[in-house]
Amino acid sequence: MSSSLATELGVRRLLVAAGQAPSVLNTQPWRFRVVRREFVELLADPDRRLRVLDPRGRNQYVSCGAALFNLRLAVRTAGQRPMVWLLPSPEEEPDLLAAVRMTGTLRVPEEQRELYDLIPVRRTSRRPFDDRRLPRAVLAELRTAASREGAGLVPLDRHGTIDMLDHAAIAEEELAHDHEYRAEVAAWTMPGAHHDGMPGYAHGPHALKDPSPVRDFGRREGEARFEGRPQLAVLTTMGDRPLDWLRAGQALQRVLLVAARHGLSASFLNQPLDLRDMRHRRDPHHRRGHPQMIIRFGYGPHVARSPRRPAAELEAG
């Protein structure tokens, strides 16, 4: 079997899959470079880094990790085995986040093919979910998905959820008074976005009751009553360095695709993490690791996909 990189169509297939990953404010902060038709390299795009919201680059690395997971899936479903090097040249080329080589051939497991088919189905939904609780078996499967990528997924109980919603509301209030933060978010949440950023239809409605289980981007579409008891989980890693952020992104995307397989919707409530990064605060030591994403799960309506950049724009020169 020829390599997925042997033809322009094969390369495009990989880039289309990778480019549909979730990313902070839909910045799609990645580029890809094909080397000698043997490797595909994932690079952070410095022009799409959020300098105010993401001073450490953590959000960008998590986003790129999600794209890397999609790339791995696309390689596997082409019948090849991806060999991955994370941060292969941190000193010489710090924006080079991963190198992937296609090696050998393999039988495509049905689970891998199913997850690949769900890449264009997965959505981030900021709409109200209904009050159905996630079955324990589904929660267990989501936790297993995170663990397979070297991360943890910690579902919050009722008290933990109440505390997290309060923390998110407090963080959002503080962020709302940061003019540089507001300007940066506004630049990526324009109603008429075509290829990147968050168009108006992706913002979701304003919650009638506080604290809100969704983030406020300042351009809400009407008002709505959200679920009475949001179902939150925290994605964690044992470390809090660039390598951990890339692993968190891969774990995040695997979790989201498994969630989509069960008909679940998801959104994010990361204001406390963004404020932590912006204020250069450190997490207290916790046996369950460092929080990297705060995820809201539930059963929600189908929503339109946020725009995506054409595959031709993703390949680095």
Give the span between the Cα atoms of 269 and 292, in whole angstroms. 11
Give the span between the Cα atoms of 137 and 159, in whole angstroms. 22
Kindly give the parts of the chain with pLDDT less than 70. 1-3, 219-220, 284-286, 317
pLDDT of residue 221: 72
H helix or E strand, kind and range, residue 167? helix 158-175
> For residue 52, with 0-12 CB atoms within 10 Å meaning exposed, 13-18 middle and 19 or more buried, which class applies?
middle
Closest among 192, 194, 191 to 313, alpha carbons compared: 194
pLDDT of residue 191: 77
> How is the chain split into domains, by residue range?
8-121, 136-298
| Torsion (CA) 36, 40, 45, 49 in degrees, nearest 10 | -160
Give the span between the Cα atoms of 41 and 33, in whole angstroms. 5
pLDDT of residue 88: 93
Give the span between the Cα atoms of 267 and 28, in whole angstroms. 17
Closest among 122, 121, 38 to 83, alpha carbons compared: 38
Q: Does 136-298 match 8-121 at the fold level? A: yes
Instruction: Say if residues 176 and 291 touch (Cβ distance below 8 Å).
Output: no
Tokens representing residue 120 in the block: 């264009």
pLDDT of residue 80: 92
pLDDT of residue 145: 98
Match domain 136-298 to its CATH number in 3.40.109.10, 3.40.50.2000, 3.60.150.10, 3.30.1180.20.
Answer: 3.40.109.10
Q: What would the pLDDT profile of 59-69 be if each residue is shown by its tens digit?
A: 999 999 999 99
How would you list the strands of the sheet with 265-268, edge to edge? Answer: 152-155, 231-237, 290-298, 265-268
Three-class SS of 254-316: HHHHHHHHCCCEEEECCHHHHHHHHCCCCCCCCCCCEEEEEEEEECCCCCCCCCCCCHHHCEC
Give domain 8-121's CATH superfamily: NADH Oxidase (3.40.109.10)
pLDDT of residue 217: 84
Q: What would the pLDDT profile of 158-201 be if each residue is shown by its tens digit?
A: 999 999 999 999 999 999 999 999 999 999 998 777 789 999 88
